[in-house]
Amino acid sequence: MQSRLHSLAEILFSTLLGYVVAVGLQIVVFPLFGIRVTFTEQNQIGLIFTAVSLVRGYLVRRLFNWLKHKSGALVAH
């Protein structure tokens, strides 16, 4: 079982890595589609996608936790 601190470190590292990969891909892919943005704009776009990803991940985790709890309650009765 992971400690809370270890879980936090894992999430922070994963989020940072995802952000770096997203911005790196944008820098490579956007010009292929004729999309021209500044480096600052690349970072802002990356932050928006990162925020959306964090919210999505949280909501999916809560949904599965709720489903697990709900199914456990049904089995217990």
Number of domains composing the chain: 1
Range of the domain at 63: 4-76
Q: Tell me the pLDDT of the chain (77 aa) as tens digits.
A: 778 889 888 888 999 999 999 999 999 999 999 999 999 999 999 999 999 988 898 889 889 888 888 887 655 55
The candidate with the shortest Cα–Cα distance to 50, out of 12, 77, 4, is: 12
Residue partners of 38: CB distance under 8 A and separation at least 6: none
The candidate with the shortest Cα–Cα distance to 43, out of 24, 66, 57, is: 24
Cβ neighbours, 10 Å, residue 24: 12
CA 15 to CA 53: how far, in whole Å?
9
